[in-house]
Amino acid sequence: MSRNSSFALLGFIPGAIFITISIVCTSICADATELIESKHHNFQIENYAKIPGIPWGLSFLPDGRLLVTEREGRLRIIDLNGSVSDPINGIPEVIAKGQGGLLDVAIHPEYEKNGWVYLSYSQALSDETSFTSIARGKIINEQFHNIQIIYRAPKKDFSKHSQHYGSRIIFDKSNYLYFSIGDRGQRPEAQDLNTANGKIHRLFDDGKIPPTNPFQGQDNILHSIWSWGHRNAQGLALDPITGNLWSTEHGPRGGDELNLIQRGGNFGWPSITYGINYDGSIISENTHEDGMLQPIHYWVPSIGVCGIDFYDNTRFPDWENNLLISSLRFGRLYRLKIKDGRVMEEEILLEIGRTRDVETGPDGLIYVALENPGRIVRLLPAK
């Protein structure tokens, strides 16, 4: 299908039902305490914590404290009262250049037994060359101990580009670890199964390759690959009911995507896209090709999709199992209701500033990481 399809201008998938979009709140200050009205729940915003740098990833510990990464290369713990710790010492050295730095953080599903904390980050080979790595360690007395690098890109994939590192990380219910690596500004590599770039990968929690990965045992293919043809996946989330893996992906100028990830699936970048180059030139004439998967939903213009999370609590009961999406370009927090693999309802809950990540807390509140200035705010049900 050619890119001149009218559907591409609207951001809908051909054959999908019509989606209601509601913009709830615009240009609201993070200090606001007034009532904010939305389609299903009214809520308030509360400042929770000030972050000195650029917050990138969030992950809750079992006791309710919050781990937050700063892209500059710092990991901190936010206490239940919102107080922010000094940086945790001893984390791996990162190259905080361009879009690189300390990126996502996740805890092992059996953290209370093993204490493993996982970090994704850009690691430097030299002042000019870097790659995406995954490390794990244990936080003991504000120190990162027992560091193990469980993944780093093959040497041939090291890049002088400082963009499109990915890199969200998430565990599924079977303790498999998934993580994303962007195309690193080298578009053809997203279609090359012998490179790590432009892929979502799956590993055991110790970095070993699962024998059930789709390309395990095949020659000249990286066996860690789970899906491919990605530009720069910035969000990963598991549907708590179905266990399906979902991803949000930065498009170029237009064409940000929401994808339902399939084992071994090719999502098409850069052979197909709903976006164009930043200078207005065409990347591809096609939005569809045989053997390449379509996004479930896409945005034109791009919204700068980032971290995502399925809401899985009852404090906002009518949002249960809805997908929350953070975004950079318009500084929005989105809510999507998804049924049978289709977006049935889309609502913009906030326009508040560049939102990098969103997580549901153990208390059922919604925590949002914001930039410029760095801070964490949370959504509370209206009193």
Q: Which residues are catalytic?
A: 164
Rounded to whole angstroms, the Cα distance separating 306 from 199 reads: 16
Nearest alpha-carbon partner for 16 in 303, 319, 295: 295
* Token digits of residue 187: 């578009």
Amino acid, single-letter form, for residue 300: V
- Tell me which residue has tokens 């995502």: 308
Rounded to whole angstroms, the Cα distance separating 4 from 296 reads: 19
Amino acid, single-letter form, for residue 197: N
Report the DSSP pairing between strands 74-78 and 102-107: unpaired
Query: Are 335 and 23 contacting, i.e. CB atoms less than 8 angstroms apart?
Result: no
What DSSP designation does 280 have?
S
Coil vs helix vs strand at 318: helix
Sheet holding 233-238, edge to edge: 233-238, 245-249, 256-260, 297-299
Query: Are 190 and 269 contacting, i.e. CB atoms less than 8 angstroms apart?
Result: yes
* Token digits of residue 367: 């925590």
